[in-house]
Amino acid sequence: KHPMKYKLNTIYSLVDRAILLADSQFHAKNIDTVKRILSNNCFPSQIINRYVQKRLQFLKH
């Protein structure tokens, strides 16, 4: 089992790539893909939703 810090960094890294490296028209689809990938890799849905939203808020500012 990996430490929580590693899991959060994985979420943040995937969200950053989905947003910063793509045109805005693809952001929603990319975030859905990130959530699906994390879910398929046994990340808890509460953690996924909380920290994806947290990172999206951070990137907005």
**pLDDT tens, 26-37?**
999 999 999 999
Helices (runs of H) and strands (runs of E) counted in the chain: 3, 0
Phi-psi sector, 49: left (phi>0), alpha (psi -120 to 50), beta: alpha
Listed in sequence order, the residues at least 6 apart from 22 whose beta carbon sits closer than 8 Å to its beta carbon are: 30
pLDDT of 46: 97
Start-to-end CA span in the chain (Å):
33
In the block, tokens 């790539």 appear at: 17
Q: Is the pTM of this model over 0.75?
A: yes
Residue range 22-26: mean pLDDT, rounded = 97
Residue range 35-41: mean pLDDT, rounded = 98
pLDDT at 1 over 80: no
